[in-house]
Amino acid sequence: MRPGVMGQGPVPIALVIARIVAVSGVGFCSAIGVFLLIGGIWHLGAGFLAATLLFLLLMFLIERGR
């Protein structure tokens, strides 16, 4: 095991909140987007799916900047 991997200390609360918001945003936007696409509301559904991609990008940036 590499030194420094375990026991890095507590995670900052801002990082925890950012992770929660990103994961919740992906789940909410993708579910609503698919629901709207199935319902035939194409423009709004595509907007929610685009927001899903933004939240995925946010998740990637959060983990890279950690």
Q: 36 in a domain, yes or no?
A: yes
Four-point Cα dihedral 26, 40, 47, 66, nearest 10: 10
Alpha-carbon Rg for the chain, nearest whole angstrom, is 16
Q: Looking at the domain assignment, is residue 27 inside a domain?
A: yes
Report the predicted TM-score, pTM, of the whole model to 2 decimal places: 0.75
Residue 59 lies in a domain: yes
Look up the domain containing 59 and give its range.
Answer: 22-64
When divided into structural domains, the chain yields a total of 1
* Residue 16 covered by a domain: no
Instruction: Print pLDDT tens along the chain (66 aa).
Output: 555 566 677 888 988 899 999 999 999 999 999 999 999 999 999 999 999 999 999 999 988 876
Residue 52 lies inside a defined structural domain of this protein: yes
Q: Give domain status of residue 37, yes or no.
A: yes
In a domain, 29, yes or no: yes
